[in-house]
Amino acid sequence: MIVAKYPSLETKWLHKHAPWMPQPKVVFSRLKDASGLYYRPERGVFLSNGIDRSNGVIVVDPDKHIIVDAVIAHEWRHHYQHFHGPYKKGPSWYDLSDKYSYKEAIIKYFVQSPTEMDSFIFQIKHGKDKDDEMWLEWIVKETEGE
Q: Considering only 53-61, 89-97, 99-107, 118-126, which stretch makes contact with Zn ion by CB under 5 A?
A: 118-126
Judged by beta carbon, residue 11 or residue 119, the one nearer Zn ion is 119
Judged by beta carbon, residue 43 or residue 102, the one nearer Zn ion is 102
Judged by beta carbon, residue 3 or residue 104, the one nearer Zn ion is 104
Determine the Cα–Cα distance for residues 127 and 53; give it in Å rounded to an integer. 24
Smallest separation, CB 21 to Zn ion (Å) = 17
Q: Which of 119, 122, 129, 135 binds Zn ion (CB under 5 A)?
A: 119
Annotate the chain with DSSP letters as a single string: ----SSTT---HHHHTTSTTSPPPEEEE---SS-SEEEE---TT-B-TT--B-TT-EEEE-TTT-S-HHHHHHHHHHHHHHHHHSPPP-S--HHHHHHHS-HHHHHHHHHHT-HHHHHHHHHHHHHS--TTHHHHHHHHHHHHHT-
Smallest separation, CB 1 to Zn ion (Å) = 25
Q: Considering only 52-60, 101-109, 112-120, 131-139, which stretch makes contact with Zn ion by CB under 5 A?
A: 112-120
Judged by beta carbon, residue 61 or residue 116, the one nearer Zn ion is 116
Question: Which residues are paired to 36 by β-bridges?
Answer: 60
Size of the site for Zn ion (CB under 5 A): 2
Judged by beta carbon, residue 116 or residue 129, the one nearer Zn ion is 116
Residue ranges that bind Zn ion, judged by CB under 5 A: 116, 119
